[in-house]
Every structure is written in structure tokens, then in C-alpha cells.
Structure 1
Amino acid sequence: MRLLLRTFERMTAPSPKSSSAATPARRRVLSGLGGGAASAVATVSGASRASARIAVAPGGFPNITVPATTTDPVLHLLRRATFGPSPALVSEVRAQGATAWLDAQLAPATVADTTMDAVLTRWPRLGWKTWEVRERLEGGDTWTVMNDLLESHLARALFSRRQLLETVVDFWTNHLVVPVPSSEVWDSAHLFQRDVIRKYALGKYSDMLNAAARHPSMLKVLDNADSTKKAPNENYGRELLELHTVGVGNFTEADVKMSALALTGLSVDSESGLYSYKPQRRYVGTVKVLGWSDPNTVPENGSAVATLYLNYLAAHPATATRIATKLATRYVSDTPPASLVTQLAQVYLANGTAIAPVLRALFLSPEFAASAGQKVRTPYEDAIASCRILGLTPEPVPASGVTSDLRSLSWLTGTFGQAPMGWPAPNGYPDVAAAWNGASSTLNRWNFHLSLAGNWTLKAMTRPDVATLVPAPLPSTYAVLVDALATKLLISLTTAQRDAICRFVDHAPGDALTAGAAAVTWRLPSIVALLLNSPNFLTR
């Protein structure tokens, strides 16, 4: 801690025009909000060092005090159902009505998204069929289309007006995991996203599960492409039960073996890279998993038997509970109320595994309304929300055709520990706060906030200068300035938080603010970064 304090003193030393009497305030900013400081400080900026106490509550992020701003029902909805609200979006939803906005989002085709439609034309290769990717890129840059996919995925999260769809796509991408980039899916991952995840994100889970089971990406990643009656591979059969449907504790090892046999024949054509059902590989004989069974007597009918099996699993009560729990964990709480999970599972089963009715019931539930402040943004969500609140816009298409900032953002989120589609294991990124309170990830995110506020990173994606956040006429005091900046960023501060930020810029809250002051010139990006570093902004 003494090293942290000494380093902080050096990084925030007053300018020649500042009063040396303000120096003790730079120590007090570290205790303005309580909590333990992160231990790694070697490459951290001054503003990030100040955040070491401002942003981390005792015991880590799970113990964050609920900021008052999240009790606003519109803001609460938008923090959960989008990748980050903006003042303009808040105004739009207030005018439209929260329920009307939600219903439109659940029918995304009704939401005009012309800007995003235009941006998506930058990646024409995403329309290539698997065999086209192979024909055009084999022996060359085989990661090209995967990079296109990652860039477009980020662009949609940043700029699409169909925000709820994008969060649901992110949810399913993290449920039916196909890691990107990967040598196994270089020719098909973009089609898995289009034809499995996006197509069925708000539709029936049974349809999504069947589409996944017949997609080259899933069949390769979980080894079913090589599974045969003589040498059944249990990988997909196990993950189908453990991760995609009923969950741990609801099946036996005998079920896993039968599950693998029930999926034999679902494979990939080696020449085209397309899905191929291969009856010669099909196990013949009775298959029985949990309460389902089929005589399975004809190899040529194996695909139909697999469909019956997958539909059974999708509609299983344990699957309903698992999907309901995961959705409630994503949108409500790290420990969702059992009453809500039960209700959502019932809605799921009553609607034939359709997801849109489940989400509508979730967002209109009293449990959701009462959950303000109970979720924390993951590093990926933090990055997207920061870009959205600062008003970043799509970068112009450079002559090279490479959308450099989106690729850079993909890399940056990797340094936070959560690159899009980057989780290598089939269980997906964790979606609870305790998983993301490590020092390295946190400090990298803080430095990102400062670079973003200072327009020192992602510079091709233009954004309003942070000076536009300062009200006109100029606020009378430093306290009024900080409160005004927080309001523009949709953050509600406690008095202690506001006063700590004032002390960071070497002033008491009641000090008069003058034009040309450091707080509204060269130190303004640091103040904005501190606000983005705060637990108030981190709250989902």
C-alpha cells in the first residue's frame, strides 16, 4: 500500500500553478470510498491509481453498494437489456414506454436499423458458403473470415438499435460455444453465428439445438464429426447433456454413452465442409437416455431419431430450469430467486421452448424490478458500454478495407480477459461478478477508460470531445462540475464519491471553478475515466 501511495503521489503531483497545500488530498482520494486497493500498479495511469480505492468495494466487486441511479426503472432495464444506455436511448424509451420498447426489441425485425445495415456491408465475406471460404482462402489467410465475424460481432454490440437481440446473441454464443478464432472452424464459424445463433436467438431453443447439432462448427469442435458406431466419441454426447440441456446431476455415465450413440452419423463432408448425415457410421439398436428411448433400427433414419432425441432434451424440465437459471443469471442476479427461475421454466415449457416469451416474463417480473444493482458488467460489456456512453461512431472504411479499430477493440478485450467468442472451453465465460475482480483485468480496463476518454485509442471511431460533457455556462464549483459530468454519463454519485474526485484534481468540492482550469482542460479525461472506473458505472 505504501508503494501505491508513493506512486500515486508522483503520478498526480500538482502542476506549477497548483497549491502545494492540496497534496494531502491526493492521499484522501484513496480512502474516499473505502475498499481494498489492487496490488499490481506498475503500468497504471494516475487516474487508474486513484480508482484503486474509488472503484473496488471491500471484498471485490460483488459487494458494490447499489448506486441510486439504478433504481430508475428505465435505466435499470437499459443497463440489462442493452450493452449500455445512452442519454438519447433513455429519452427514446421514456417517450415510447418501457414495455412498448421491450416488445419491439423482442420482435427485432420491426426495429429499423439502417446504420447497422450499412455498416454490415463492409464484410461481404460473411455471406460466403463454407466451400467458398475454402476455395478462396485455403493456402492463404485462413483467419480472414473469422476476423470479419469478430469485427461485425463487436460492431453490432456497439451500434445496433436491436440491442436486446445483441445481448441475447451474446448469451447464446456463450452457451453453445464455438471458439473463434480456431483452426477447426475457420471456414464455418460465421455461418454458425448466422444460421444457428442469430436465426434462433429469440425463437425456439429446440430449433437452435437441432441446428447446432447439424452444423459443421459444433460437430468439429465437439468431435462428433469423427464419431462412428465402432468408435463413438462421447464428447458431444456429454456436453449436450451437461452444458446444452439438462445439466450436471441429471444424467449418468450410461446416459452419456447412449447420447453419443444417438448422435452417430451426424457428420461433416470432408470435401465441401458442409454437414453430412452418414448412415454407414450410424449405430443401430435401441438408444435410451433419461426417460427417452427409440428402437433406432434403420441407419437411414438416424437423423430423424436424433431430432426426436434433441427435441426431447430441449423440452425436458431440467433443461427448462437450466435455461431459465442461466437467463436469470444473465439478466437479473448472480443468484437469481428460485421463484423467478420456476416461473421462467414454466413459461419456457408452456411456449414450446420459445425464448422471447421467457424474456418478456423475466423483464416484466417483480424480481427483475427488485434486482437493481445486483449485476456487474463483465469486462467485455464494460468496454462496449464505455464506447457507447462516450458516443463512438462507426469508423470510415479505410482504403485497405480493414476496420482497424474494431480489430483493436477485439484485441483489447482480450487483455481484459474476455475477447469476443474467445473462451476456449465449452462451458462459456462466467457471468458472475466474482469471476472478474482480478487486478490485471481491472487495471487494464481502467487504463482503457482513460485512453478512450482522452481519444488516445480507437481514434478512427470518432466521438464527441469530452469537453462537450461540460455544461454551459460553466458550473460554479468543482462539486457541481463532477455531478454534471456524472449525470451526462448516467451515473449517480454519493457525496463521498463526488468529493473524492474533487480532491483528485486538488480542490475542495466547494472551490470556485474557473474557465481554463485543469479540471475542464487537460485533466478532464482523467475525471471522466474515474467516473467510468466507478462501481456505479460498472453496475449492469
Structure 2
Amino acid sequence: MNPHSAATPVRRRVLTGLGGGTALALAPAGASAASASRTASAAQATALATATATTDPALHLLRRATFGPTPALLAEVRAAGTTGWLDAQLAPLTQVSDTAMEAVLARWPSLGWKTWQVRERLPQFGSWDVMFDLLESHLARALFSRRQLFETAVDLWTNHLVVPVPSSEVWDNAHLFQRDVIRKHALGRYSDMLNAAARHPAMLKVLDNADSHKKAPNENYGRELLELHTVGVGGYTEVDVKMSALALTGLGVDSESGLYSYKPQRRFVGAVKVMGWSHANTSAEGGDAVVTSYLNYLATHPATANRIATKLAVRYVSDTPPSTLVTKLAQAYLANGTAIAPVLRVLFLSPEFAASAGQKVRTPYEDALASIRILGLRPEPAPAPGESDLRDLLWYTGTFGQAPMGWPAPNGYPDVATAWGGASGTVNRWNFHLGLAGNWTLKAMTRPDVTSLVPSPLPTTYAALVDALAATLLLTLTTAQRDAICRFVDHAPTDVLKAGSAAVTWRLPSIVALLLDSPNFATR
């Protein structure tokens, strides 16, 4: 399906009323792009400054530990208790049944293919079909899996050990990198994930170690391993980078099978020293074990502990997390042998997390997923290959600037609010909200009609209607925000609402979209 043909012309909504309490305005579709961009930028700046924080601990947990709360999920957390729900989410394979998601995953049998099977079964060498299956399944899991905390961790590590998809370098193995490196270890030990990544053809190709040789060592992976995957900038020297590259020689890819292959003929032999780690490295045949020693040293280095702790705290707590929390998380990381689940438990049960409500803003990708989840969309009936709403959603996230696995550089997408303040992306998200609410976007997915959001009996005033819709969407509005939406439909807040009025018929999708446009919904 072509998203362009499925879209319905919409009006750009300017949310100054929702953000700062001033008049709500509409920019017609024919308005100049520059004017719309300036207005959107100002609106978003105001919105981020006025986002309201929830005082509900269950809702706060769900905004951070999932890709968007739903009323059903909120009820589940209240029934289990926040700690009980969290503990189950930290042991998802044994504690959280996900049979419906497993049934959906059966749509992509290619995700179980080995590298040689991809090469053998696809009609054209270098085909991107399996990579698109991977991306669709990644979106589906984020949207529909009951193992939500696990899926947020998968997304975090995907954005940490970056393998860009789609890419011709990984056309036959990117799905296996996700399965055997990221998903296998997302809540396990980071040292195991690091070792698995270092021996996966996808990482070795993307960062050029597959071509590294003792006579001409390639420094790319050796540098990124230090700078991005472990200790971070400032903890090493250029000499360390050169030694890091030598320490990784021999890790390669078999050209015929496409599998990891240790190649002793390429291995540098001789003493190697990086930071506080050293090894005699006396034989080419023993190089693989030397690499394990090196990677384990880096994984358990205090600087790596601090870096991983900071990354987790930025994702789940604040753009500028408290140093007290980072210290606690780093200590938990080292005390638990680099295991991630215990660190996350400390994080979510910490007073710093409890105090952080309102301190994170959803990225465009998260905003799209949360919108779909709160409106109750479910997987469409089995579509034809390449024709699914998930493929369309992949396109939409690209227009927001954040398609999954789409960051081309090894440093990953930024996870701070200031990185996502562009006017174009904001307007695209607003129009996406309206398309979802009006059932013009992702039309093949099953969903309740938007009128199901209107309570029965019908609220008596326009103010009561807006408040009720906001509550259903798990939002709390300020009086100024509520009144701005009432004025948008040309009524005072106290006006009597009648059955069949525009606000509960043809203008209802616009009201719902405005609520999704609000800073309250943008808050992670």
C-alpha cells in the first residue's frame, strides 16, 4: 500500500492553546511551509515547557517501561501492583505469556532462516526482503507484545550496538543479529551481548573488522568498541585504539557461508595492551580467547559501568539523570556481573525514578507507537507480502526522522528532547495523529471506532466531553488546554452538548488528534 494514496488531506493544527493557554489556531493546508514551520516550532517549545507530570505511580511506570500505556494495561498493573508487574516484566520468558504475539510472528517465517537459506531462497542476491520482514516484526513486537519492558530494552540495545537496516552489508544476517545478539541478551549480561556482537558477521561487516588483517589492521571496530560500546570518550588514547584494532584481528566472516569465522592467518601475534588490560598473545590459534579476555575486561570496566548506567537512566528517567542514580546503577551493574535486569529493577524502584515524572519526552518513534496503542489498533488480518500496514508505518516513522534501525551512524539515535524539536517532524506527527483518529491512516489494522471513546451517557457540556476523552486517553488536561479544545469546535466550555453535534460526529477525530498532539501525551 502506498501511504501517499491512503492519506486524506488534513489541516495543520497549531497547538499554542494546548501548550500555553493562548488561542488555538488552525493553519490551512495552503499556508506557507515556512509559516507553518515557525508556528510548529514555537508551539512545540511551549509544549515541552508545559507538559504536565502524572502523580500516578502506575501510569508513570507504564509511560517509561512500555511503548505506551493503555487502559487495560493500567488495570493490569493496578491489580498486580507496580513491583509485581515490574518483576514479571524483568523475567518475560517465564512470567509473561505472549501467545497472541507469537501467532503474529508466524507471518515472517524468514526470520528463522539461516544465512545460507536466505541466500538460497531469495530470487535475487542481495534482496532486502528479509530485512523488511525484520523491521515489520520489530514494529509489531513494540506495538502488540505483552513483554513491553523487554521490547523497550531491545530497542535501547538495538540503538546501542548499531547495525543499520536495511543495508546491503547485512541483507542476509541482520535478522540473526537481532535474534542472537540483541534479543537473546537484552535483559541478560552485557558482557555476553558484547562478546556475541563481536563474533557476529553483521557487526564485523558494518564496522569493517571482517577486512582487518595483521598487515593492515582496520581501526574502525577497535575505536567504536571503546568510544561507543564500552568505556566512552576520554577513557583511552590513540595508542589504545591501535592496540584495540590489533587485539581484534582474526575475527572475520567466511565468504562462502556468511558465518562468523576466526581466521588465525590474519591474527596479529605479540603483546597487546589497552588501558589496564594486557595479554602476551603468543599464538595465532589462541587469539579468539584473547579477544574474550579483552571484551570481558571492557564490559566490567568502571567506565563502562558508568556509561551503561547513564544510558539506562537517560532512557528511563531523565535527559540529565541524577548522579546519585547513575552511581547506584553502575554499582548494581558490576555487583551483578553486568546483568541488566537487576540494574533496571534498582532503577524503577529508586526514589529518583519516582521523582522523575514529566522529565522525559517521547521520541517521534515512541509517539507513533503510543498513539496506535492508546487508540486500540490491533494487527490486521494476514496481509500480502510487502502490503501491510506495518510496512506503511515503517514509511511514516521515516518521515518523522526515526525509522527503527534507520540511524546510519554507529552512535545511534539521540534520546533527549532537544534532538527532536524540528518543525517538520512535529507537523508530520500531528497529521499522523489526525490520520489515525480519522481512520485514514493504517486502515487495514483492526480498531474500535473513534466514537467508542465517547462515554455513555453523553456528557452534558463540551468541557465534560473533552475531559472524558482525555481521561480515556489517560491524560489530565489543564483548564486552559480543555477550554482551547472547546473553542476549536466553536463552543464555550459550559455550552450544552447535544447528541449528533459536530463534536461527537465529524469533528470528533480532530478533537482526539488534538489531545494526542498535546504536551501531556508527548510526555514519556
- Report the TM-score, using the length of structure 2 for normalisation: 0.94
Return the alpha-carbon distance in structure 2 between the equivalents of residues 372 and 271 of structure 1.
Answer: 52
Indicate the residue corresponding to 1:78 in structure 2: 62
Note if 1:136 corresponds to 2:121.
Answer: yes
Structure 1 counterpart SS, 2:168: coil
Q: In the alignment, which of 317, 321, 326 is matched to residue 332 of structure 1?
A: 317
Structure 2 counterpart SS, 1:267: strand
Note if 1:323 corresponds to 2:311.
Answer: no
Unaligned runs of 5+ in 1: 1-9, 14-25
Q: In the alignment, which of 347, 367, 370 is matched to residue 362 of structure 1?
A: 347
Q: 1:138 Cα deviation (Å)?
A: 5.8
Question: For residue 52 of structure 2, what is the amino acid of its counterpart?
Answer: V
Counterparts of residues 109-120 of structure 1 (less than 5 Å): 109=93, 110-120=95-105
Q: 1:44 Cα deviation (Å)?
A: 9.7
Q: Is the Cα–Cα contact under 8 Å of residues 35 and 56 in structure 1 kept in the other structure?
A: no
Q: Is the Cα–Cα contact under 8 Å of residues 245 and 322 in structure 1 kept in the other structure?
A: yes
Indicate the residue corresponding to 1:436 in structure 2: 420
Q: Write the deviation string for residues 393-435 of structure 1: whole angstroms up to 9, x where unpaired.
A: 011013x344510000011000000000000000000000000
Counterparts of residues 259-338 of structure 1 (less than 5 Å): 259-338=244-323
Return the alpha-carbon distance in structure 2 between the equivalents of residues 165 and 233 of structure 1.
Answer: 34
Return the alpha-carbon distance in structure 1 between the equivalents of residues 472 and 277 of structure 2.
Answer: 56
Note if 1:349 corresponds to 2:337.
Answer: no
Indicate the residue corresponding to 1:92 in structure 2: 76
Q: Write the deviation string for residues 446-476 of structure 1: whole angstroms up to 9, x where unpaired.
A: 0000000000010111111110000111110
Note if 1:56 corresponds to 2:39.
Answer: no
Indicate the residue corresponding to 1:445 in structure 2: 429
Indicate the residue corresponding to 2:134 in structure 1: 149
Note if 1:524 corresponds to 2:512.
Answer: no
Question: For residue 457 of structure 1, what is the amino acid of its counterpart?
Answer: T
Question: For residue 516 of structure 2, what is the amino acid of its counterpart?
Answer: L
Q: 1:57 Cα deviation (Å)?
A: 3.8
Note if 1:66 corresponds to 2:52.
Answer: yes
Note if 1:33 corresponds to 2:21.
Answer: yes
Q: Is the Cα–Cα contact under 8 Å of residues 333 and 371 in structure 1 kept in the other structure?
A: yes
Q: 1:131 Cα deviation (Å)?
A: 1.0
Return the alpha-carbon distance in structure 2 between the equivalents of residues 12 and 379 of structure 1.
Answer: 17
Indicate the residue corresponding to 2:217 in structure 1: 232
Q: In the alignment, which of 396, 399, 409 is matched to residue 415 of structure 1?
A: 399
Q: Is the Cα–Cα contact under 8 Å of residues 126 and 171 in structure 2 kept in the other structure?
A: no
Return the alpha-carbon distance in structure 2 between the equivalents of residues 492 and 31 of structure 1.
Answer: 13
Indicate the residue corresponding to 1:3 in structure 2: none
Unaligned runs of 5+ in 2: 1-9
Q: 1:134 Cα deviation (Å)?
A: 1.2
Question: For residue 262 of structure 2, what is the amino acid of its counterpart?
Answer: Y
CA 466–235 in structure 1, closer or farther in 2 if over 3 Å, else same: same
Note if 1:106 corresponds to 2:87.
Answer: no
CA 11–196 in structure 1, closer or farther in 2 if over 3 Å, else same: closer
Q: In the alignment, which of 244, 249, 252 is matched to residue 234 of structure 2?
A: 249
Note if 1:377 corresponds to 2:343.
Answer: no
Indicate the residue corresponding to 1:185 in structure 2: 170
Q: Is the Cα–Cα contact under 8 Å of residues 29 and 503 in structure 1 kept in the other structure?
A: no
Note if 1:168 corresponds to 2:147.
Answer: no
Indicate the residue corresponding to 2:6 in structure 1: none
- Report the TM-score, using the length of structure 1 for normalisation: 0.91
Question: For residue 450 of structure 2, what is the amino acid of its counterpart?
Answer: V
Q: In the alignment, which of 517, 520, 524 is matched to residue 533 of structure 1?
A: 517
Return the alpha-carbon distance in structure 1 between the equivalents of residues 374 and 306 of structure 2.
Answer: 35
Return the alpha-carbon distance in structure 2 between the equivalents of residues 505 and 39 of structure 1.
Answer: 15
Q: Is the Cα–Cα contact under 8 Å of residues 416 and 445 in structure 1 kept in the other structure?
A: yes
Question: For residue 442 of structure 1, what is the amino acid of its counterpart?
Answer: T
Return the alpha-carbon distance in structure 1 between the equivalents of residues 17 and 347 of structure 2.
Answer: 40
Indicate the residue corresponding to 1:426 in structure 2: 410
Structure 2 counterpart SS, 1:184: helix
Q: In the alignment, which of 207, 228, 246 is matched to residue 192 of structure 2?
A: 207
Indicate the residue corresponding to 2:5 in structure 1: none
Indicate the residue corresponding to 1:194 in structure 2: 179
Structure 1 counterpart SS, 2:285: helix
CA 505–272 in structure 1, closer or farther in 2 if over 3 Å, else same: same
Return the alpha-carbon distance in structure 2 between the equivalents of residues 28 and 265 of structure 1.
Answer: 58
Return the alpha-carbon distance in structure 1 between the equivalents of residues 404 and 32 of structure 2.
Answer: 24
Return the alpha-carbon distance in structure 1 between the equivalents of residues 387 and 382 of structure 2.
Answer: 7
Q: In the alignment, which of 471, 486, 493 is matched to residue 487 of structure 1?
A: 471
Return the alpha-carbon distance in structure 2 between the equivalents of residues 28 and 191 of structure 1.
Answer: 46
Return the alpha-carbon distance in structure 1 between the equivalents of residues 123 and 171 of structure 2.
Answer: 10
Q: Write the deviation string for residues 239-286 of structure 1: whole angstroms up to 9, x where unpaired.
A: 000000000011100000000000000000011100000000000000
CA 35–507 in structure 1, closer or farther in 2 if over 3 Å, else same: closer
Return the alpha-carbon distance in structure 2 between the equivalents of residues 339 and 184 of structure 1.
Answer: 42
Return the alpha-carbon distance in structure 2 between the equivalents of residues 192 and 28 of structure 1.
Answer: 44
Between the two proteins, the alignment pairs up a number of residues equal to: 512
Structure 1 counterpart SS, 2:278: strand
Q: Is the Cα–Cα contact under 8 Å of residues 265 and 278 in structure 1 kept in the other structure?
A: yes
Return the alpha-carbon distance in structure 2 between the equivalents of residues 96 and 181 of structure 1.
Answer: 40
CA 154–28 in structure 1, closer or farther in 2 if over 3 Å, else same: closer
Indicate the residue corresponding to 1:16 in structure 2: none
Q: Write the deviation string for residues 75-117 of structure 1: whole angstroms up to 9, x where unpaired.
A: 0000000000000000011001110000000001120001100
Q: 1:54 Cα deviation (Å)?
A: 9.8
Indicate the residue corresponding to 1:19 in structure 2: none
Q: Is the Cα–Cα contact under 8 Å of residues 347 and 353 in structure 2 kept in the other structure?
A: yes
Q: Write the deviation string for residues 188-247 of structure 1: whole angstroms up to 9, x where unpaired.
A: 000000000000000000000000000000000000000000000000000000000000
